[in-house]
Structure 1
Amino acid sequence: MGLFGSGAQLTVSLHEALALLKDDAALVDVREPDEWEAGHAPDAIHIPLAEVPRSPNGIDPTKPVLVICRSGRRSLTAAAQFRDAGLDAVSVNGGMVAWQQAGGLVVRNGGDPGTII
């Protein structure tokens, strides 16, 4: 089943996620719309958690999928749902909080600086 495999771990560290992003993995942010609008990772795809079961067709099935939320709880649920839909998905440990603490860029729509709420 791809890079992560059906029996593989459901999470990766932020360091592993950043390496996978350099190799063209997709980053899916499953936070609520107000959280997304306040700030998100550049190039992330926004699919709120409630829409995950209905929305995997917006994601390239040939790429690994890194799922992120604020801290890692919602993304773990979403990663399992994406796997059930046949995608090669894992959750990013620490979420956007870890992303920002590690110096990752956080932007609003339009590219202005954002924040994590």
Structure 2
Amino acid sequence: MSEPNIPEVDPTQVPADAYLLDVREPEEWQAGHAPQATHVPLGQLAAHAGEIPTDRHVYVICRSGGRSAQATQALNEGGWQASNVRGGMQQWASAGLAMTSVDGEPRVA
């Protein structure tokens, strides 16, 4: 059985006004996340699916790209248009993209 083809984008290709879905655990989110991201841990994705817009593209991110690939596949199978952010927050930080934390302070990884 082959791996499904999961759409991916580089962090630098995520539009500034994108719906960015962060599926990491709460402690990871608290340590630092993209300012525009919405947080729904992967394990809670099904319970919160109704909160995810169906009328716009969804960009999914995690720490390194594994969990977000799972979420991207699930969303696409459920009728959303979603792309995995390649390399996750690690690559996001390496690219020098904006990050913040729950206390509002800028963060770098």
TM-score w.r.t. structure 2 length?
A: 0.87
Question: Is the CA contact (8 Å cut-off) linking 2:19 and 2:59 kept in structure 1?
Answer: yes
Q: CA deviation at 1:9?
A: 4.3
Moved more, 82-91 or 63-72: 82-91
Of 72, 80, 96, which residue of structure 2 is paired with 1:79?
A: 72
Q: CA deviation at 1:58?
A: 1.0
Q: CA deviation at 1:90?
A: 1.0
Asked if residue 90 in structure 1 is aligned to residue 83 in structure 2, the reply is yes
Asked if residue 10 in structure 1 is aligned to residue 7 in structure 2, the reply is yes
Please identify runs of 4+ aligned residues in structure 1 that moved more than 3 A.
none
Q: CA deviation at 1:54?
A: 2.1
Tell me the percent identity.
40
Q: Distance in 1 between matches of 2:21 and 2:60?
A: 5
Q: CA deviation at 1:77?
A: 0.2
Question: Is the CA contact (8 Å cut-off) linking 1:27 and 1:44 kept in structure 2?
Answer: yes
Q: CA deviation at 1:106?
A: 1.2
Count of residue pairs the alignment pairs up: 106
Unaligned stretches of 5+ residues in structure 2: none
Q: Distance in 2 between matches of 1:42 and 1:103?
A: 13
SS in 2 for 1:55: helix
Asked if residue 70 in structure 1 is aligned to residue 63 in structure 2, the reply is yes
- 1:25 partner letter: A
Q: Distance in 2 between matches of 1:42 and 1:35?
A: 14
